[in-house]
Amino acid sequence: MAKHNDIGQIGELLAKGYLKNKGYRIMAENYRFEKAEVDIIAEINLVLYLLK
């Protein structure tokens, strides 16, 4: 795996940990639709957040 992919995975892990510590629920990861990808879909208080 290329170094930038490793860094991206580490960043996603850190982001997920941060969100979970703040009370967010991770709904999906690496969601793809056609040519687009959303890295993290998280929810808190019935509000969805899409993180790319």
pLDDT per position as a tens digit, 29-52: 999 999 999 999 999 999 988 878
pLDDT tier for residue 1 given thresholds of 50, 70 and 90 = low
Report the share of the chain in percent with pLDDT over 70: 98
**For 3-51, which CATH class?**
alpha beta
Q: Which residue has the higher pLDDT, 5 or 33?
A: 33
In angstroms, rounded to a whole number, what is the distance separating the alpha carbons of residues 47 and 24? 10
- Note the pTM of the prediction, 2 decimals: 0.80
* Exposure of 14 in the CB half-sphere (CA atoms within 13 A): 6
2 has a pLDDT exceeding 90: no
In angstroms, rounded to a whole number, what is the distance separating the alpha carbons of residues 29 and 10? 14
23 has a pLDDT exceeding 90: yes
In angstroms, rounded to a whole number, what is the distance separating the alpha carbons of residues 37 and 9? 14
Domain ranges for the chain: 3-51
